Amino acid sequence: MAGQPHGTAQLSYWFPAILAALLISVLSTQSFAAERTVGVILPVLHWLFPRATRGMLRLIHFGIRKTAHVTEFGIFSITVFRGIRAGRSGWKFNWACTTVVIAVLCAALDEWHQSFVLLREATPRDAAIDAFGVLLAQCFVWGYATRRWPFSAFFRGTADSAKKQEEITR
């Protein structure tokens, strides 16, 4: 494909996605189960909010953990998009769709993996939260790309896209 790097250059665009996937895998282990993180996060929350009830602190802990799901899969989604784009400029709908499919499949695999880990629970709700992070990140990617490369979201980057852009501005 023209304009797309090959070999090592191509792999360099995927390196952040590989690292993000490895981080997700580590965060899916027993070491990061709610029962383990509560011992670290609750004392900090209690220090920040000394008058909060234990139930309120646990609710905040729950929110932090779910926000982490959104964040980690959002970052993963951005790095996958970077790998797919491979140095080309612009934004294409098929790049975003491919990114969403890959990232949501990884979210499903993450939940499946957690079903085998002691102290972890695999839930469709968590997979949906992960997918929300993926979609939210792709909205940010689209917003950034369309501001940086106007018209890239609407045209395929063909030779006649300049003509189409000119027609629109008339």
DSSP for 147-162, written as a single string: HHSTTTTTS---TTHH
Paired tokens of 48:
């920040």
pLDDT averaged over consecutive 10-residue blocks of the chain (170 residues)? 64 94 91 86 95 94 94 98 91 96 96 88 92 98 86 52 54
Residue 159 pLDDT: 46
**What is the structure's pLDDT at 122?**
86
Q: Which structure tokens are listed for 163?
A: 């003509």
Stated pTM of the model: 0.80
Q: How far is CA 133 from CA 1, 93, 117, 121, 139, in A?
A: 30, 18, 23, 19, 10
Q: What is the pLDDT of residue 56?
A: 96
Contact 79, 90 (CB under 8 A): no
- Helices (runs of H) and strands (runs of E) counted in the chain: 6, 0
Name the nearest CA neighbour of 12 among 75, 85, 70, 95. 85
Domain ranges of the chain: 7-169
**CA gap 135, 146 in Å, rounded:** 16
Q: What is the pLDDT of residue 87?
A: 86
Q: What is the pLDDT of residue 31?
A: 82
